[in-house]
Amino acid sequence: MNDFTYQAPTKFVFGRGAVDETGSELAELGYECALVVYGRGSVVRTGTLDRVLTSLDKAGVRHAQLGGARPNPEVGLVRDGVAAARADGCDVVLAVGGGSAIDTAKAIALGVPYGGDVWDLYMKKAQVVAEGKLPVACVLTIPAAGSEASASSVIQNDEVALKRGLSTELNRPQLAVMDPELTFTLPPYQTAAGVTDMCAHIMERYFGSTGPVPVTDQIACGLVRSLIECAPRVIEDPEDYDARANIMWAGTQAHNDIAGLGRGAKPNSRAGGWESHALDHELSAHFPQVTHGAGLAVVMPAWMRYVWRSAPERWLSFGRDVFGIEPVDVVEDCIDATPEEAIEDAVLATIDEIQAFFCSLGMPRTLGELGVGAGDIDALLETLRQNKGAEIGELQRLTMDDCRRIYESCL
Ligand code: NZQ
Ligand code: ZN
């Protein structure tokens, strides 16, 4: 188990009706004016925004509004938000939505004290500063990205077709209001993409280069088992409160770092190489209509099939703990199988199960289903190289040629 430092500053208010407590929670924290950031209209249609604004009014918290954060949010809206927060004298940025609204809010909060263009922070041309940075709060409406407690924010710049992450402890929200009933209105595709993203957050950490850390590995596998149990229930019955609630909390645990502690390859680093996220982010950079979780459903199993030989024992333990797959079971009827073949069969059966789970929820299997073709791969690799350098990966270093083969295997 490797060393780590972990600080989780977020206050969670979780449960039925929690959304109506947003104003009093912010007032209790001492805030007087919130910039309310939301997406492209779901929170208006569902009445969630009204409930939040009413609770702010009741608690005497003034507010300004900024709607329009699209999935794979764009830096243009962040710039508008920085200007609005300054003009209105806001002392907190309150996102009402999912990862896209929350990441926009995080970027605005970091941008307020910075004199230059906020995109510089994402390009690492300027350092984030704590002084003058606004705190972030959120009302979560879709469990998926885990941004409600994560240290990350991911923003896209359409002009240069780049999607960049910025990780800093300053990003962790101070308050997360999590009301599972708000997620009853999610379309099945978004529910499924969210669950896939959570699984990916757990698996990116699990399939890193560090050896077993039983306490953390069991948290990871337990979370995935819970998602496998609960996800079909909400696809069947979108108003299954208990399943919605379990998925919502799993999404937070998947990405608040608890599922990777002690597994960081370097001291205080996040566990895992995040190869599938790197491959997926290029898909949405070029095709913003590609939902993050759907892209992951395609590239993650392909990455696994490409690299598993670097640590077969990780896939064997995951297969055993999540799916009950044992190498001997797989080769029961095959008396000629060598141990190596038995291991390979068990690993590949595990990866097949992972992919089958994503597909069973309605996620795609191929790049073609996302509207991405062989002719697009050069452009994906070009921005991947700009973003990450000539090689990516932790478990196995991957050149751009390796990444090309992975993309090609998903066509
Ligand atoms: O825009 P609106 O109209 O609000 O609709 C949204 C959007 O179309 C809709 N939706 C949300 N809540 C709803 C709802 N529809 C009906 N009922 C509700 N209750 O769902 C769609 C997706 O919303 P979005 O916020 O884009 O989803 P998600 O939470 O998956 O966020 C995706 C973004 O987060 C980034 C992704 O790259 C992507 O840009 N990520 C952020 C991370 C982080 N900050 O830690 C980590 C992740 O790995 C990820 O990269
Ligand atoms: Zn993700």
Q: What is the atom index within ligand 1 of the atom nearest the CA of 72?
A: 39
For atom 20 of ligand 1, which residue has the closest CA? 190
Task: Give 29-67 pLDDT, tens digit per residue.
Answer: 999 999 999 999 999 999 999 999 999 999 999 999 999
Q: Among the atoms of ligand 1, which is closest to the Cα of residue 197?
A: 48
- What pLDDT does residue 266 have? 87
Cβ contact 99:60 at 8 Å: no
Report which of 48, 97, 103, 110 is spatially closest to residue 72, judged by C-alpha positions. 103
Q: Pseudo-torsion of CA 354, 360, 365, 368, nearest 10°?
A: -160
Domain of residue 82: give its range: 11-183
Atom of ligand 1 nearest to the CA of 153: 44
CATH of the domain at 19: 3.40.50.1970
- Report CA(244)–ligand 1 centroid distance (Å): 16
**Mutation pick for ligand 1 pocket among 248, 275, 292, 363 (CB with most ligand atoms within 8 Å):** 292
User: Is the domain of 105 the same as that of 207?
Assistant: no
Sort strands 152-157 and 162-167 into parallel, antiparallel or unpaired: antiparallel
Which residues sit with their C-beta closer than 6 Å to ligand 1? 39-43, 46, 71-73, 97-101, 103, 141-142, 144-147, 150, 152-154, 182-183, 185-186, 190, 194, 197, 255, 277, 292
> If residue 353 lies in a helix (H) or strand (E), which one and from where to where?
helix 339-360
pLDDT tens string 216-258: 999 999 999 999 999 999 999 999 999 999 999 999 999 999 9
Q: Which residue is closest in CA terms to ligand 1's atom 42?
A: 145
Please report the beta strands in 33-125, taking only residues with DSSP state E, as ranges in sequence order: 33-38, 62-66, 92-97
Residue 3 lies in a domain: no
Same domain? 153 vs 242: no
Pocket test for ligand 1, best of 44, 72, 103, 163 (most atoms within 8 A of CB): 103
Instruction: Please check whether residues 32 and 149 belong to one and the same domain.
Output: yes
Cα dist from 110 to 9, 80, 81, 329, whole Å: 17, 13, 11, 52
**How many residues belong to the chain?**
411
How wide is the angle at C-alpha 213 spanned by C-alphas 209 and 217, nearest 5°? Answer: 90
- From 42, 74, 387, mutation site for ligand 1 pocket: most ligand atoms within 8 A of C-beta: 42
Question: Do residues 280 and 199 both lie within one domain?
Answer: yes
Question: What CATH number does the domain containing 292 carry?
Answer: 1.20.1090.10
From first CA to last CA, the distance across the chain in angstroms is: 38
Give a yes or no: residue 4 inside a domain: no
The total of structural domains in the chain comes to 2
Q: pLDDT tens string for the chain (411 positions)?
A: 999 999 999 999 999 999 999 999 999 999 999 999 999 999 999 999 999 999 999 999 999 999 999 999 999 999 999 999 999 999 999 999 999 999 999 999 999 999 999 999 999 999 999 999 999 999 999 999 999 999 999 999 999 989 999 999 999 999 999 999 999 999 999 999 999 999 999 999 999 999 899 999 999 999 999 999 999 999 999 999 999 999 999 999 999 999 999 999 988 889 999 999 999 999 999 998 999 999 999 999 999 999 999 999 999 999 999 999 998 754 555 556 678 889 999 999 999 999 999 999 999 999 999 999 999 999 999 999 999 999 999 999 999 999 999 999 999
Distance of alpha carbon 84 from alpha carbon 66, whole angstroms: 8
Is residue 168 included in any domain, yes or no? yes
pTM of the entire structure? 0.96
Regarding whether 296 and 342 lie in a shared domain, the answer is yes
